[in-house]
Amino acid sequence: MSALDLSIVIPTLNEGGNIGRVLRGIRAEAEKLNLTYEAFIVDGPSGDSTGEEARAAGAAVVEEHGGGFGRAVRRGLSEAKGKFVLLMDADGSHPAKYFPEIWRRRVESDLVIGSRLAPGGGMDIPYHRRLLTRVLNRFFRSLFRLPAADCSSGYRLYRAETVKGLTGIADGFDVQQENIIWIVRRGGHVVEVPIHYVWRQEGESKARILKFGIGYLKLVAKYWFRND
């Protein structure tokens, strides 16, 4: 039996009120393209209705007790059975309408990033978050010479064979930068598709500035002097 075209993987933690809508939207786009696919969430586990809503929207639930967004992403990549793996946020900030163009660009890349910072992209978020996003991405892009304007975007399509065996230290959202470093240092190709990022409609952001900072310092310490 041949592999599925696509695995839709969404890390979650207490995203009741959001996850069902997100899953229905992205599944509809995959079906318009006649893709064979699976969909599952990698859950915190949550203490709300996230799991029930995901199952009602046609997705499986994989519980990740190790803790941390980074571990959830790596678990999702390792569990996926598709030739390509789509990861996206669970809060509705990554509109499904951009998926067809992201899918089209897969033929020329190992990683397609839905980019807020590429020409034509944008962000509907508070000013301080927008400023932090731009500064952070410029820093990592310059330090590691990464071929992407938006190294921290979580809207991504990975070529599965490229990330099999992917390892890392990132526990939090710094997994986004770590994965790009991992791919590029192994000769992988990255492209960006502009998207307009929208602020969540329900629930609370899981991003914490202090944890951000600690994670990024660890990442720089590991990869700046080494070619892992």
What domains can you pick out in the chain, each with its CATH number? Answer: 4-223 (3.90.550.10)
Separation of CA 44 from chain center: 16
For the record, the structure tokens of 54 come out as: 């995901």
pLDDT for the residue 211: 64
- Residue tagged 């009602």 (tokens): 56
- Which tens digit of pLDDT belongs to each residue from 191-213? 999 999 998 665 555 555 656 66
Confidence check: pLDDT of 175 > 50: yes
Q: Count other Cβ atoms within 10 Å, centred on residue 61.
A: 16
pTM for this prediction: 0.91
End-to-end CA distance of the chain: 35
- Which tens digit of pLDDT belongs to each residue from 22-76? 999 999 999 999 999 999 999 999 999 999 999 999 999 999 987 789 999 999 9
- Which tens digit of pLDDT belongs to each residue from 91-135? 999 999 999 999 999 999 999 999 999 999 999 988 888 998 999
Residue 3's pLDDT band, with cuts at 50, 70 and 90, is: confident
